């Protein structure tokens, strides 16, 4: 069947499943709307959490970032996975034991202050709205390529689908829809990875294929990739680190604690019946997440080798009689000259997948030397040997721009896999973006309807009207998310990392101190949240070029990019968190300690049932 028709059928079938589940699981009460009635099975919740967790950033972008960054891309694996472990062990069970619907409600009750709750809502909205921009952008990318529509049209379709199952189903509808979305996205991720691993290494498990020899040779896949990228002026794939070691550490820490503070993931642990179930569902979610996260490094490495093999025949990849991409052992072991004219790809003979992705604008070719061939290399390299060979070959600069976001989506096409695999990947990418977008939109909705309207503006509101307010808030959130997806702000490229930085610098410290410090006051918590949030936003926006006028000159307030010890804006959330903790404890020293009943509440949340009796307390 023709690819476009098959893609329509596969994506359409997945949408039909989501909408059918939404109709079956409609929310009829505020409890079902916010936490699915609190009766979700731990395994089901674990799968839904994994889908909520693995956004477009995980499915579409992560392997692409690893492909571009090499070893340094492991910071995303360590940060996001480590953050989930931190959340599962230190936060989720205690928040579930506290028994409230949302993070702002926990902060408001724990710090006995509506002001604290309101500040938490502001922080939650800042993180969630920033994060949802990336999801809607991902929806637009997937739709524009696979459904042959503009990215704007893709966003409109995504808004309509999310509206159908999120507004009416609430958390109940979202939970069971996310289970279906997880199944779709994990199959869509693993199937092409298995195909490509078999083609390149003969090993069906991508995790093992990454460390295997290339078929028909005694050369390891990573060894060959290191040789290719070094010869083309890139950093060695297996050792490259972006920026300084300090920045990599802070980047990883920011992702980790930001992950633990993301409200749309935390709220999932309120949907299970018991505290023990929160632990079980966290464990199951980690298993489901690991299936994708352990595969991503292999996908990134193999995609990079496939891309180089397509553009430069000296890498040693070609097609067999059936049209599948395979390894040519004779070429790959001959150390052929990557700069020979006949080794580069003639643009007029470029494969169909390049033509299709060029229409999206995410892949661009510029013939800088007018030879009609594609030269793909690092034209900013300081390697004198590469510079000499480039000069001898008459190259005038890198001519191919490849957006990292296309690596996973285009990989099956690059590897010449069957059309049904390509269609499946399209459905998986869309499912990943929609599942996280739904979770974020529910977090935004509950923050407005439950934490602002119910707890602050109108405490006497009826359950029926609160449910209506929640649905209207969801509609407003979808419209706002769609608008930001259609008109992304200037910093949109870093929105996902910024969202993690906001959560890390504002919500995470307040939650941690709320659970593990009986004497942290409301003044300390509020001051810490505001300080962490404001310093992080200041650093990010100042770095992005926002200047202030002094007389007739513009003044850079932070002294240039990465001026704080070389730390990038994406990594600054960890610094914001440290400032949050520091300000909170400093202000707390000059504040009145919390009431005794609040201190007793904290002790009760943190100490397991029966511990008092074991210690002989009464």
Of the pLDDT bands very low, low, confident and very high (cuts 50, 70, 90), residue 578 is very high
Residues 243 and 385 in one domain: no
Q: Select from 342, 369, 403 the last residue of a domain.
A: 403
pTM: 0.81
- Asked if residue 533 is part of any domain, the answer here is no
Residues 228 and 159 in one domain: yes
Is the separation of the CB atoms in 426 and 10 below 8 Å?
yes
Residues 214 and 244 in one domain: yes
Sign of the Cα pseudo-torsion (545, 493, 539, 252, in order): negative
Residues 206 and 337 in one domain: no
Residues 179 and 262 in one domain: yes
How many domains does the structure of the chain reveal? Answer: 2
Residues 338 and 476 in one domain: no
Report which of 274, 294, 255, 267 is spatially closest to residue 48, judged by C-alpha positions: 267
- Asked if residue 328 is part of any domain, the answer here is yes
Q: Select from 372, 403, 434 the last residue of a domain.
A: 403
Residues 256 and 159 in one domain: yes
- Asked if residue 30 is part of any domain, the answer here is yes
**Which of left, alpha, beta for 590 (phi over 0: left; psi -120 to 50: alpha)?**
alpha
Over residues 273-289, the pLDDT tens digits come to 877 787 888 888 888 98
Percent of the chain at pLDDT > 70 equals 87
- Looking at residue 524, its pLDDT comes to 96
Residues 425 and 396 in one domain: no
Contacts 24+ apart (CB under 8 A), 111-115: 111/510, 111/514, 111/520, 111/521, 111/522, 111/525, 111/526, 111/594, 112/522, 112/594, 112/595, 112/598, 113/522, 113/526, 114/455, 114/456, 115/522, 115/526
At 246, which CATH number?
1.10.4160
Q: What is the dihedral of CA 567, 570, 574, 576, to 10 degrees?
A: 90
- Asked if residue 535 is part of any domain, the answer here is no
244-248, 348-352, 447-451, 546-550: which has the minimum mean pLDDT?
546-550
Residues 132 and 124: their CA atoms lie apart, in Å, by 12
- Asked if residue 618 is part of any domain, the answer here is no
Of the pLDDT bands very low, low, confident and very high (cuts 50, 70, 90), residue 557 is low
- Looking at residue 120, its pLDDT comes to 92
Q: Select from 456, 490, 524 the last residue of a domain.
A: 490
Residues 67 and 170 in one domain: yes
Residues 272 and 95: their CA atoms lie apart, in Å, by 12
Residues 199 and 153 in one domain: yes
- Asked if residue 472 is part of any domain, the answer here is yes
What angle do the packed helices 419-446 and 42-53 form, to 10 degrees? 100
Over residues 313-357, the pLDDT tens digits come to 878 777 766 666 677 776 766 556 888 877 888 999 888 888 888
Q: Which residue has the tokens 């949302």?
A: 102
Residues 325 and 426 in one domain: no
Over residues 450-460, the pLDDT tens digits come to 788 877 788 88
User: Which structural domain range is residue 92 located in?
Assistant: 3-300+418-490
């Amino acid at each position: 069947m023709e690819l476009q028709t098959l893609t329509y059928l596969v994506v359409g079938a997945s949408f039909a499943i989501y909408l059918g589940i939404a109709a079956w699981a409609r929310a009829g009460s505020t409890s079902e709307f916010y936490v699915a009635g609190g009766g979700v099975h731990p395994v089901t919740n674990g799968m839904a959490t994994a889908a909520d967790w693995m956004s477009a950033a995980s499915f579409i972008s992560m392997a692409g970032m690893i492909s571009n960054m090499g070893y340094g891309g492991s910071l995303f694996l360590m940060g996001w996975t480590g953050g989930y472990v931190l959340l599962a062990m230190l936060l989720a069970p205690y928040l579930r034991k506290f028994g409230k619907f949302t993070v702002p409600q926990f902060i408001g009750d724990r710090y006995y202050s509506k002001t604290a709750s309101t500040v938490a809502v502001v922080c939650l909205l800042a993180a969630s709205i920033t994060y949802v921009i990336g999801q809607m952008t991902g929806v637009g990318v997937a739709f524009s390529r696979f459904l042959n529509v503009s990215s704007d049209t893709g966003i409109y379709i995504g808004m309509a689908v999310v509206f159908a199952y999120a507004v009416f189903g609430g958390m109940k509808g979202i939970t069971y829809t996310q289970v279906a979305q997880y199944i779709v996205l994990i199959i869509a991720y693993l199937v092409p990875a298995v195909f490509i691993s078999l083609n390149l290494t003969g090993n069906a498990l991508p995790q093992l294929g990454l460390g295997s020899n290339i078929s028909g040779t005694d050369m390891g896949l990573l060894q060959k990739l290191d040789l290719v990228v070094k010869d083309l002026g890139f950093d060695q794939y297996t050792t490259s680190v972006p920026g300084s070691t300090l920045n990599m550490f802070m980047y990883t820490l920011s992702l980790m604690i930001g992950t633990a503070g993301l409200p749309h993931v935390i709220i999932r642990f309120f949907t299970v019946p018991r505290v023990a179930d929160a632990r079980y569902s966290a464990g199951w979610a980690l298993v489901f997440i690991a299936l994708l996260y352990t595969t991503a490094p292999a996908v990134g490495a193999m995609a990079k080798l496939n891309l180089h093999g397509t553009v430069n025949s000296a890498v040693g990849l070609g097609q067999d009689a059936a049209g599948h991409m395979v390894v040519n052992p004779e070429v790959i072991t001959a150390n052929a000259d990557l700069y020979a004219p006949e080794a580069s790809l003639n643009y007029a003979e470029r494969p169909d997948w390049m033509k299709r992705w060029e229409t999206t604008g995410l892949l661009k070719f510029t013939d800088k030397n007018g030879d009609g061939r594609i030269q793909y290399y690092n034209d900013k390299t300081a390697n004198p040997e590469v510079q000499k060979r480039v000069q001898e070959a008459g190259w005038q600069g890198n001519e191919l721009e490849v957006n990292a976001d296309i690596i996973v989506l285009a990989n099956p096409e690059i590897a010449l896999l069957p059309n049904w695999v390509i269609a499946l990947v399209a459905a998986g990418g869309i499912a990943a973006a929609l599942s996280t977008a739904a979770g974020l939109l529910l977090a935004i909705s509950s923050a407005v309807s439950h934490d602002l309207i119910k707890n602050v503006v109108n405490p006497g509101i009826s359950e029926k009207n609160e449910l209506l307010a929640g649905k209207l808030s969801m509609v407003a959130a979808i419209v706002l998310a769609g608008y930001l997806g259609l008109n992304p702000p200037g910093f949109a490229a870093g929105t996902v990392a910024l969202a993690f930085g906001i959560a890390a610098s504002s919500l995470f410290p307040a939650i941690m101190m709320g659970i593990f410090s009986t004497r942290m006051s409301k003044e300390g918590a509020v001051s810490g949240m505001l300080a962490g949030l404001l310093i992080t936003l200041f650093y990010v926006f100042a770095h992005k070029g926002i200047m202030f006028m002094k007389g007739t000159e513009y003044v850079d307030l932070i002294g240039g990019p990465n001026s704080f010890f070389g730390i990038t804006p994406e990594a600054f959330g960890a610094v914001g968190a440290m400032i949050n903790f520091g300000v909170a404890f400093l202000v707390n020293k000059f504040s009145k300690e919390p009431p005794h009943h609040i201190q007793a509440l904290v002790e009760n949340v943190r100490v397991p049932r029966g511990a008092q009796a074991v210690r002989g307390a009464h």
